[in-house]
Structure 1
Amino acid sequence: MRVLIVADTHGLIDPRIVALAAGCDQVAHAGDVGSAAVLGDLRNACPRVAAVCGNNDVPAKWAGAERSILDQLPQVAELSLPGGVLVIVHGDTFPAKSRHAGMRMRYPAARAIAYGHSHRIIIDDNVLPWVINPGAAGRTRTYGGPSGLILEADADRWQVEAVRFPPLV
């Protein structure tokens, strides 16, 4: 199973990231979605999209008609995948210095925990559960260009790969 993991789109998702979703079985968005259009673009490419609420996903930043979609975004989502569970959170409620340890303590049964918030790609796969961050898939603070992670999950093995595109001009 191929899962595209994205975060921190802040209302705009890079079309190259959307194209990656077309080749996946599932998309996981780790918060700071920013608009219903982002979720719509992802769903057009891959119908199975799970998304969580980020610290910037607040009513004042979402258009009036889109607020009903915002209200449906949970703080945490769990995806049952072959070989384990992927937990999706935004990560802003964990202090930066102890973020990975705190997530591992809160979600010990997960095989991996995907989070956003920092806008930086991280693959911390030295111990279980893995703690991974796809960076930013939009145009805000991408630190080198929009990015995401591709998780290949089967019953025996998980593998994660970072994908980064050059910034669009």
Structure 2
Amino acid sequence: MRVALLADTHGNLDGRIEQLVGDCDLAVHAGDIGNAAVLARLQPRQGRVLAVYGNNDSPRQWPSTDRELLQHLPEWRAYPLPGGTLVVIHGHQTPARDRHGWLRRRFPEARVLVYGHSHQLVVDTDVSPWVLNPGAAGRTRTHGGPSCLILEARASTWTVEAHRFTHHSHAPRARIA
């Protein structure tokens, strides 16, 4: 199963990331979405989009027409994948200093923990559960360009592929086991 992992769109989804999502089975947004249109543009093959709210996903910051959807977004959620469980949370609930340790202690049953908030692309697969931050998939504080991760989940092995786009080129790919 191919899973697109993204976060921190703040109302603007990069079109190249939108295209990558179309080649995946599932899309997971780790918060600071910005509006319902961002989620509507996520069109994975199986049509399933999981999302959690971030610290900027508040009624005051969303268009009034989108606020009903906002009420249904959870703080975190777990989702079973082939070979393990994915947990997604925005990450603003934890101090930055020991965020990965906190997440691992809070969700030890997960195989992968996905968070956003920092806008920094991070792939921490040295310790289980893995901790992944897809970076910012919009225009706000992208730290070198909009980015996302593609998780390939099989019953036996999982891999993560990082995608970062610049304004002038296509995404370089790095495969990380």
Q: What TM-score do you get using the length of structure 2 for normalisation?
A: 0.92
Contact 2:25 2:45 in 1 (8 A): no
Q: Which runs of 5+ in 2 are unaligned?
A: 169-177
Which residue identity lines up with residue 112 of structure 1 in the other structure? V
Could you tell me how far 1:97 is from its partner in structure 2? 0.6
Q: Equivalent residue of 1:128, what SS?
A: coil
| 1:1-169 paired onto structure 2 within 5 Å | 1-43=1-43, 47-167=47-167
Q: Which runs of 5+ in 1 are unaligned?
A: none
| Percent identity of paired positions between Structure 1 and Structure 2 | 54
1:60-91 deviation per Cα after TM superposition (whole angstroms, max 9, x unaligned): 11111100011111000111000000000000
Measure, in 2, the Cα distance between the counterparts of 1:158 and 1:79: 15
Could you tell me how far 1:45 is from its partner in structure 2? 6.8
Higher deviation after alignment, 100-109 or 41-50: 41-50
Match of 2:171 in 1: none
Contact 1:22 1:46 in 2 (8 A): no
Could you tell me how far 1:44 is from its partner in structure 2? 7.2
Structure-2 change in CA distance of 1:140 and 1:45 (3 Å): farther
Structure number with the higher helix fraction is: 1
Q: Equivalent residue of 2:131, what SS?
A: strand
Which residue identity lines up with residue 60 of structure 2 in the other structure? A
Structure-2 change in CA distance of 1:44 and 1:84 (3 Å): closer
Measure, in 2, the Cα distance between the counterparts of 1:45 and 1:21: 8
- Matched positions, count: 168
Q: Equivalent residue of 2:50, what SS?
A: strand
Q: Equivalent residue of 1:10, what SS?
A: coil
Which residue identity lines up with residue 104 of structure 1 in the other structure? R
Contact 1:13 1:38 in 2 (8 A): yes
Measure, in 1, the Cα distance between the counterparts of 2:145 and 2:95: 25
Which residue identity lines up with residue 128 of structure 2 in the other structure? L
Measure, in 2, the Cα distance between the counterparts of 1:46 and 1:8: 23
Measure, in 2, the Cα distance between the counterparts of 1:120 and 1:45: 27
Q: What TM-score do you get using the length of structure 1 for normalisation?
A: 0.97
